Amino acid sequence: MQRKISNFNSFISEASLRGNVGIPGEEGSGRESWLDKINRSSDTAAQEFAMANRADIGNFMQFVMKAQELQRGHEREIEELVETCVREVFGSLVNDIDFDLTLGDKDEVKEMMEETPDEPEIPEMEEITDESILDAIQARKIMRTVQQGKGLSVKEIINLKTMKTGLVEIMGEREAAEYIRACNKIANIAQFFDWTVPEDIQKGAWRSRNGFSGSVKLDFPEEEEEEKKDAAEQVLKDLENGDDLINNPDAEELMSGINTTIVAIGVDLSVLTHEAVKGVWALPVQWSLELLSEDEAEQVIGNTDTLFDELQEIKYGRQMQQNLFKIVARNPKVIEKINDLQRMDDADSEIISFQEQVNFLFFGKLIAIAREGDAKDFLRRVNDILSENAKAKEDCDSLIEEVLEDLEQEALYQRGETENGPAYRGPDGYDDASDSYIDDDPEMEIPKASPRTGVEGMSKDEIANAIIDAYQRGDTEEADRLRGMLPESYRFPRFEEYQKLLEDRRC
């Protein structure tokens, strides 16, 4: 039986973090809610900030105007610098991602945000009673809160050596110092306002789309259907002829598609960096929907992806991500790696990059649990982590070790090596990672994935080739498993989509 949620206030209550079983104390255990603890600690922190920064809070708009004055005429260079710094921090994890960053004004921000509803487009939403969908909604609510929190925690990126050096080159030493100072002030005071401005006032501003300073979205351009059909037909002919699909242009067209683009806009450096980083962290959150049906995904998105959802995500996001990733920071192997990095010349930047990549991949491991149909286990694990209990360490240590191994394997791949020797570069002798030419080795065997084998040391094209093999065998489970090994941006159709393309072409 289903009942209707007849007004938006009821919907907001339903979609809240309150009652989310992934939050300690909200699962009906009788414990004090983690949210209430955060409310107390954040209220205290806000009071202390207000006492120590009363003059800065009063001069907030002066900092905003100063930043906009200093950046005027340098917008394109600053946009490129932000992309450079974000890529430096996330490394090869975003190699297949495009960035479209704009240092714009509030009218441009407002125009971009018109695309996002502040409430569900359907006036009366059916309350969902399917337990698996409810779990998926609660899981996505937590994912988006962590994503928002990571975007808000970008002071280290704003103050990277690369960022400061780049700004000096763009606007000169004195102006760069003033600009960084102003942007740091803006970021700090904005966080204070996020917590202290009454929710009703924030909702009013959000309804009118006034007062926004930034926005971000993921752009997944669709290729022309006819081009896809032509490519699918040619791939089928190649397979029938026994041709290899590696470096096959038709297979590449069918499998690769167009890179995902992070489209972000911000009125100053701090906001643009925040939106760009939030966009990166949106990638695994988006990936979590992939195995849901279209109807299920619509229900999950409809209950989590409105502007008003962001109010709560902004309010609790920073604290949630800090608490969630404590378990990573305390892992002995992570600590050992950071100690090793301390001895490097540019230690601060290396450590920031390593920590962000470890956290990003760890988050992806957690999301994979929900993505593969066990959102309830995801929620339990998050609850354990936020509770800081012994079960969390037991569950997470193995995931963190997998992440460290993944990073090591990625580093080897980027250097053109694997555990079994040099990675395969392709018949043209070029290494995709570095574009450096190497000597041809006619006796080098191209690694193949036989049914149910691992993918360690294989390139994306080789994994894609194995997926085609699985499709030809009708092994949908293996095809889906292998698809999960490819980056989010490497668009490979699902088995049923691939089959439909071929069938449509034959008709």
pLDDT at 372: 78
Which of 251, 258, 248, 310 has the alpha carbon at shortest distance from 282? 310
Do residues 366 and 358 touch, judged by C-beta distance below 8 A?
Answer: no
pLDDT of residue 433: 35
Residue 179's Cβ-count burial label (10 Å; 0-12, 13-18, 19+) is: buried
In the chain, helix, strand, coil percent, each to 5?
65, 5, 30
Dump pLDDT digits (tens) for 311-343.
Answer: 788 889 999 999 999 999 999 999 999 999 988
Question: Which residue is it, tokens 């949630």?
Answer: 320
Contact 264, 216 (CB under 8 A): yes
**The predicted structure's pLDDT at residue 460:** 63
CA distance 432 to 464: 16
Q: What is the distance between the alpha carbons of residues 165 and 173, in angstroms, rounded to a whole number? A: 9
Question: What pLDDT is stored for residue 345 in this prediction?
Answer: 78
H-helix or E-strand spanning residue 40 = helix 34-52
* Tokens 């997926």 found at: 467
Dump pLDDT digits (tens) for 278-316.
Answer: 999 999 898 888 777 788 888 888 878 766 677 788 889
Number of helices and strands (H, E) in the chain? Answer: 24, 7
Facing residues of 265 across strands? Answer: 102, 215
Q: How far apart are CA 479 and CA 499, in angstroms?
A: 13
The DSSP annotation for 321-358 comes to HHHHTHHHHT-HHHHHHHHHHTTSTTHHHHHHHHHHHH
3-state secondary structure 413-430: HHCCEECCEECCCCCCCE
468/482 Cα distance (integer angstroms): 10
pLDDT at 272: 95
d(CA 361, CA 339): 20
Best CA proximity match to 250, nearest among 222, 278, 223, 218 = 223
Question: What one-letter code names the amino acid at 139?
Answer: A
Nearest to residue 105, comparing CAs of 215, 264, 217, 266? 266
- Confidence (pLDDT) at 344: 83
Can you tell me the distance from the alpha carbon of 414 to that of 39, in angstroms, rounded to the nearest whole number? 44
Chain segment 385-422, per-residue pLDDT in tens:
999 999 999 999 999 999 999 998 888 877 765 444 44
Radius of gyration of the chain (CA): 24
Give dist(CA 298, CA 279) in Å, integer: 20
**Which pLDDT value is given to residue 459?**
62
Amino acid at 434: S
For the chain, what are the domain ranges? 4-221+258-319, 228-254+451-507
Quick one: which of 276, 222, 240, 289 has its CA closest to 85? 276
The list of the chain residues with pLDDT below 50 reads 1-15, 120-125, 245-246, 255, 257, 418-453, 489, 505-506
